[in-house]
């Protein structure tokens, strides 16, 4: 039986959190909200604090996960990251990553693409 859309999104986020932990990253927060939006996962290693956007897509989706991280979405993530940084003292270099999780038509994961430093705040009016 196919999974519900919300279940597929949660599956992608859980998968990405496990992937980050396997990369020796520590998860600081999940689903952090601000008045600007939400960041799916905030994690860090010895060098970076990573604000991770997770996009889970079924095979054959009309819009790829990469395409769905629009300029508007990036601006929301950047502003939300600034809110988190203002609330949490941190000396690590910020980085904005994107993880696209690919599922079969039933919602079960078969692969992923992880983009370190997928975008930055250059040229963004924050």
CA dist., res. 37 & res. 14, Å (int): 20
**Which domains can be identified in the chain, with CATH numbers?**
5-119 (3.40.1350.10)
89 C-beta neighbours (distance < 10 Å), count: 6
Residue with tokens 């924050």: 126
Q: What mean pLDDT, rounded, does the chain reach?
A: 90
Q: Of 20, 14, 111, whose CA–CA distance to 64 is shortest?
A: 111
CA dist., res. 58 & res. 118, Å (int): 21
Average pLDDT on 20-46 reads: 97
Q: Is the CA virtual torsion 105, 108, 111, 116 positive or negative?
A: positive
Task: Give the per-residue pLDDT at 71.
Answer: 92
Q: How confident is the model at residue 74 (pLDDT cuts 50, 70, 90)?
A: very high
The predicted model scores a pTM of 0.91
Residue 52 has phi, psi (to 5 degrees) of -110, 125
- Of residues 28 and 10, more confidently modeled: 28
Average pLDDT on 26-49 reads: 97
pLDDT at 44 exceeding the cut of 70: yes
């Amino acid at each position: 039986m196919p999974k519900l859309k919300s279940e597929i999104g949660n599956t992608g986020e859980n998968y990405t959190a496990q992937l980050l932990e396997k990369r020796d990253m520590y998860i600081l927060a999940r689903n952090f909200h601000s008045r600007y939006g939400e960041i799916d996962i905030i994690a860090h290693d010895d060098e970076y604090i990573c604000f991770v956007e997770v996009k889970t897509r079924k095979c054959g989706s009309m819009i790829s996960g990469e395409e769905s991280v629009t300029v508007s979405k990036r601006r929301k993530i950047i502003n939300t990251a600034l809110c988190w940084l203002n609330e949490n003292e941190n000396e690590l270099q910020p980085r904005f990553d994107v993880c696209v999780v690919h599922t079969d038509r039933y919602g079960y994961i078969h692969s992923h693409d992880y983009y370190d430093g997928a975008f930055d705040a250059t040229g963004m009016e924050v």
